[in-house]
Amino acid sequence: MNALIDRTIANIGDVLLGKELEIRQALCCMLAGGHLLLEDLPGMGKTTLAHALATTLGMSFGRVQFTSDLLPSDILGVSIFNSESAQFVFQPGPIFNQVLLADEINRATPRTQSALLEAMAESQVSIDGETRPLPSPFFVIATQNPIYQSGTYALPESQLDRFLMRLSLGYPNAQAERQLLLRGEQRGNVSLPASMSADELTAIRAAVAEVTLSDSLLAYIQRLTAFTRNAPEFAMGLSPRGALALVAAARTWAMMAGRHYVVPDDVQAVIEPVVAHRLVPSADYAGDGAALVAMMQRSVDVIPD
Amino acid sequence: MNTDAALPRRALWWLIGCQFYVILPHLTRVPLWVLAIYLGAALWRLQMHRERALMPPRWLRLLLGLAAGGAVIASYQTLIGLDPMVALLLVASALKLIESVRAKDGYVLVSLGFFIMTTQFLYNQELPVALYSVVGTLLLVVSLIALNQRPSGSISRREPLLALRMLGLAIPMMIVLFLLFPRIAPLWSVPSKNTQATTGMSDVLRPGDVTRLGRSAEVAFRVQFEDQIPPQRELYWRGMVLNEFADGAWRTLGWSDHPATERKLDKPIAVGESLKYRIIIEPTMQHWLYAMPYAQSPTAGVFEAWDFRLAVRKPLESTFAYDVVTWPESSLQPELSPWRREAELALPSNLNPLTREWVERQVNAVGNGPELITRVLSYFREQPFYYTLQPPKIDDDDFVDEFIFQSLRGFCEHYAYSFVVMMRMAGIPARIIGGYQGGELNTLNNTLIVRQFDAHAWVEVWLEDRGWVRVDPTAAVAPERVEQGLEEALRGQEGFLADSLLSAYRFRSVTMVNWLRLRYDAAAWQWQSFIVGFNSDEQIDLLESWFGEIKVSWFVAVLLGSWVVVLAPLIWWMNRSRSSSERLPVEQQFAELCRALARRGIERAVGESAISLLVRAESELPAGDPQLVTLRRLADELYTGD
């Protein structure tokens, strides 16, 4: 099973060069069954990663480019009158794919954003009074440009919370970039073989469920959570949903490392992408979510003081 | 705590409130422009808070500071002394407010607030000031909490409660420090307050001086008797002895005016029953103390003067408590030296010719013995003399002539003055005694409250074999003065308590007010007696009664020991709440192993797990190392959950 995972990561690594850790984290997010938010400047490989993840997991893939005039029906689908059969026929939208890439999600209006995010939470959509289940598994990979760019609608905290992880890719290192430049522009004809079948995915998720948490580790996660709720630098502490997400991600990470139990290193490996976007720094604290996570790791020990 | 952080907004309001609270009692002592600076600074700061104004630039702030310092000097003509120093402190704290934008400035303001509040006690140590300070301390602690609060303000309304709890926790420490902290004599002395600021008797008596005191209901001193309180007419609180007349005023003959042979104390012999009592006197700025003759005091620092007064070496700048034993039947100085006799008879020969003539007639009739005294007293009793707080002013050098033959209206010092002059003319040594007569009885705690309007002047005459004998000519004119007190004597007259419009004493005919007033006075007695009066002697007495004979080393040991007794449980409790008891057994083993490894140079960082530590330890320790084995086992136990 670990060989399978390593192979998948290597596969994606062929198209997204030098981003081993981020690919591993993104895969962890998918295997944990969570939605993924990619936040970075344009041209950093967000779409490439999303596309590679979908194809390599052998899932159907749909993509919506979010714009400010995008309507909910553009994502969900619409009923069209068929004059031959004289009845309305539902034309499913891109959301009826296993992996939906919501590109530049923060460019759409809140109304459209919330239509998508509702679907993410419920795993079903209601159109024209009819409830239609979404395919399973169902993943949303959303990308967004950092919110200080103009013409964007920032996702509110409550919706950010729906994403299991938020990742930034960042610039590639010198060696990877050199390779990238040599290879030239290949966008569009990246065709990855599927390296994992649906059955294998189900098996992996079953294995994740088997991963155990020791008392000591649970206490560690509780102390981390309590720290965010008590330290003055935090305006809002981590919610129980956030703590659950941390546990789920750490479990998956442990499984990916071939262990049937979680160690603090697993938690520390996923804590930044899982927790940083859920934290709100207090008004007089200059740092952002990532700085807060660093502070948590500096301040909370693996055993009680 | 990040002191460079911005001053929390709520804290600003508390700080401004606290500032006004602590300067309020000082407002009567500083010039009015100090308040104007306060208001201006607070307004400016609030405008800054509302983004309507900017902080003045550094040079302007510097200029403001210098100008304010200059204004203090200009107002007081000096910087030396308590009042200008307090004014300077107030101005500094007001100006500090303008530049307080960081949390650390807030701490400075709170510290200044505590300091300013303490300066109140340099002026007054009575119960109301203490209560006021308790509230002030609470407010300042609330400000401190507000300074530490999160901007989201989740503890907003509980701040005062939290402050109360913190002060409550500090009470045991306060009691320990109060009882045990050494009463060290001050290393420097605060420049004295202005002498004129105090109400009370002075050591120069001119007609009209005592009269003025009748307008004040301020407490002069309180007395608590051990047993029975003597009747009102016996309560003559002897203060100063005025035996030298010059320029229309009576003064005390100074020690330096005595020839060397006369500088001795004729200690009276204690005879008869004694009276024991304790007096707590308000600051008088004078050396002498009040007591009934013949008085001795066991209190340290109190000595007997040659004229049988009690006195202290330094002027009384604060409340002072002393114990007194009085032997009323002892005779004072039954033998008078020729020099002293002459001094007590000295009188300008050219003044008051009419009186001299009258006195000579009486002496020719009855001689100059006790008979003469009776004669003069009956003259006062029989002529239409009138006892009043508003006597006509007599500027004449021949004061006595004018008084006893013309105006006939006077207060006690007029009668005493005239009587002494008449006695001296007749050849009887006589002198004026200044002090207080009577007092108000508080049956709640058997104390007597003597107020300024109880001030009185009477006379001592020297008689063969009997020594100095008290004679009160006022009693001849207005016997109710000594029987029932001044108020009764002046019933229906204006002027009494004219300066004490709001004194509770004025309203004592209202039952409720009187009930409260007497209870308050009883509480004030306790306060003065046990808290303010707890000086180093009392402290050593108390500690000796607890621990027996006290040595200095012992004392220090007790002091330190008490700190341990108070602090040790506190530290234990604080550590307990940080709770290493939350550790699982395996975590405890891991922590101990980490300490052991740290001694071998393998330190675990915060957040580093057993797994990563194991990786490092494996590279640094030999494979079979027992601690490595333990670490491996613990890493397993910690996380496999088996």
Q: Which two tokens stand for residue A90?
A: 């539902």
A61 inside domain:
yes
Residues of A in contact with B587 (CB under 8 A): 216, 303-304
pTM of the model: 0.53
Q: Indicate if A172 and A223 belong to the same structural domain.
A: no
User: How high is the ipTM of this complex?
Assistant: 0.82
CB nearest B641 (choices: A212, A268, A305)? A212
Is A300's CB within 8 Å of B606's CB?
yes
Average of per-residue pLDDT across A280-295: 84
pLDDT value at residue B198: 56
Total length of chain B: 642
pLDDT value at residue A35: 92
Phi (first) and psi of residue A9, to 5 degrees? -65, -40
**How far, in Å, are B133, B163, B173, B266, B339 from residue B168 at the CA level?**
15, 8, 10, 55, 65
Q: Indicate if A131 and A12 belong to the same structural domain.
A: yes
Count the neighbouring beta carbons within 10 Å of the beta carbon of residue A84.
6
Sort strands B467-471 and B430-437 into parallel, antiparallel or unpaired. unpaired
Q: Indicate if A146 and A11 belong to the same structural domain.
A: yes
A215 inside domain:
yes
Residues of A in contact with B150 (CB under 8 A): 232, 282
- Helices B511-526 and B127-147 pack at an angle, to 10 degrees, of 80
A62 inside domain:
yes
Phi (first) and psi of residue A44, to 5 degrees? -100, 0
Cα–Cα distance, B472 to B415 (Å, whole number) = 9
Cα–Cα distance, B482 to B437 (Å, whole number) = 7
Cα–Cα distance, B363 to B174 (Å, whole number) = 68
Under the banding of pLDDT at 50, 70 and 90, the label for residue A180 is confident
The DSSP element (H or E) to which B493 belongs, if any, is none
Residues of B in contact with A293 (CB under 8 A): none
End-to-end Cα distance, chain B: 42
Select the residue from A212, A216, A220, A272 to test the B interface by mutation, using most B Cβ atoms within 10 A: A216
Residues of A in contact with B578 (CB under 8 A): 305
A252 inside domain:
yes
Please report, to the nearest 10 degrees, the dihedral formed by the alpha carbons of residues A100, A104, A107, A109 taken in order.
20
**How far, in Å, are A112, B126, B211, B212, B258 from residue B454 at the CA level?**
91, 21, 10, 11, 32
- Which runs of consecutive H residues, i.e. helices, occur in chain A? 2-15, 20-31, 46-56, 72-76, 110-122, 157-160, 174-183, 198-210, 215-230, 240-256, 264-275, 289-299
Q: Indicate if A128 and A162 belong to the same structural domain.
A: yes
CB nearest B150 (choices: A212, A232, A301)? A232
Task: Pick B79 or A105 by higher pLDDT.
Answer: A105
pLDDT value at residue B287: 84
Q: Indicate if A158 and A53 belong to the same structural domain.
A: yes
pLDDT value at residue B196: 44
What is the DSSP secondary structure assignment for residue B332, as one 8-state letter? B
Cα–Cα distance, B204 to B434 (Å, whole number) = 10
Is B591's CB within 8 Å of A303's CB?
yes
Q: Indicate if A28 and A165 belong to the same structural domain.
A: yes
Which residue from B minimizes the CA distance to A301?
Answer: B607
Name the region of A133 (left: φ>0; alpha: ψ -120 to 50; beta: rest).
beta
Q: Indicate if A145 and A254 belong to the same structural domain.
A: no
Q: How far is A259 from chain B (nearest CA, A)?
A: 9
Per-residue pLDDT for A172 more than 80? yes
CATH number at residue A124: 3.40.50.300
Select the residue from B609, B640, B642 to test the A interface by mutation, using most A Cβ atoms within 10 A: B609
Q: Would you name the residues of B annotated as active-site residues?
A: 412, 456, 472
Q: Indicate if A252 and A176 belong to the same structural domain.
A: no
Range of the domain at A170: 2-185+196-201
Sort strands B430-437 and A35-39 into parallel, antiparallel or unpaired. unpaired
Please state the domain count of chain A. 2
pLDDT value at residue B260: 82
Best CA proximity match to B627, nearest among B607, B606, B605, B598: B598
CB nearest B583 (choices: A283, A300, A303)? A303
Cα–Cα distance, A279 to A157 (Å, whole number) = 9
Is A216's CB within 8 Å of B586's CB?
yes
Q: Is the dihedral of CA B633, B634, B635, B636 positive or negative?
A: positive
Residues of A in contact with B590 (CB under 8 A): 303
Is B606's CB within 8 Å of A301's CB?
yes
- Helices B610-620 and B585-599 pack at an angle, to 10 degrees, of 30
Cα–Cα distance, A260 to A254 (Å, whole number) = 7
CATH number at residue A283: 1.10.8.80
Name, in order, each residue with C-beta under 8 angstroms of B364's C-beta and a sequence gap of 6 or more. Answer: none
A206 inside domain:
no
A239 inside domain:
yes
Q: Indicate if A33 and A116 belong to the same structural domain.
A: yes
CB nearest B580 (choices: A216, A297, A304)? A304
pLDDT value at residue B186: 60
Q: How far is A169 from chain B (nearest CA, A)?
A: 25
- Helices B626-640 and A215-230 pack at an angle, to 10 degrees, of 70
Q: Indicate if A283 and A229 belong to the same structural domain.
A: yes
What is the DSSP secondary structure assignment for residue B453, as one 8-state letter? G
Is B152's CB within 8 Å of A305's CB?
no
Contact between A37 and A157 under an 8 Å Cβ cutoff? The reply is no
Q: Indicate if A149 and A68 belong to the same structural domain.
A: yes
Our measurement of the distance from residue B299's CA atom to the centroid of its chain's CA atoms, rounded to an integer in Å, reads 18
The mean pLDDT values, 10 residues at a time, for chain B of 642 residues are: 69 89 89 90 89 86 91 86 87 90 89 92 84 93 83 61 88 83 64 53 77 76 86 87 84 82 79 88 85 87 86 83 88 83 84 87 85 87 82 79 84 87 89 88 83 87 87 84 71 61 65 82 82 77 75 73 80 66 81 88 86 88 87 88 64
Residues of A in contact with B5 (CB under 8 A): 284
Total length of chain A: 305
Cα–Cα distance, B416 to B433 (Å, whole number) = 8
Is B610's CB within 8 Å of A302's CB?
yes
Maximum alpha-carbon separation in chain B: 129
A305 inside domain:
no
Average of per-residue pLDDT across A141-167: 82
User: Which of A173, A201, A229 is the last residue in one of the domains?
Assistant: A201
A199 CB within 8 Å of a chain B CB: no
pLDDT value at residue B504: 62
Q: Indicate if A144 and A222 belong to the same structural domain.
A: no
Name, in order, each residue with C-beta under 8 angstroms of B366's C-beta and a sequence gap of 6 or more. Answer: B372, B375
Best CA proximity match to B239, nearest among B260, B209, B263, B271: B209
Per-residue pLDDT for A26 more than 60? yes
A304 inside domain:
no
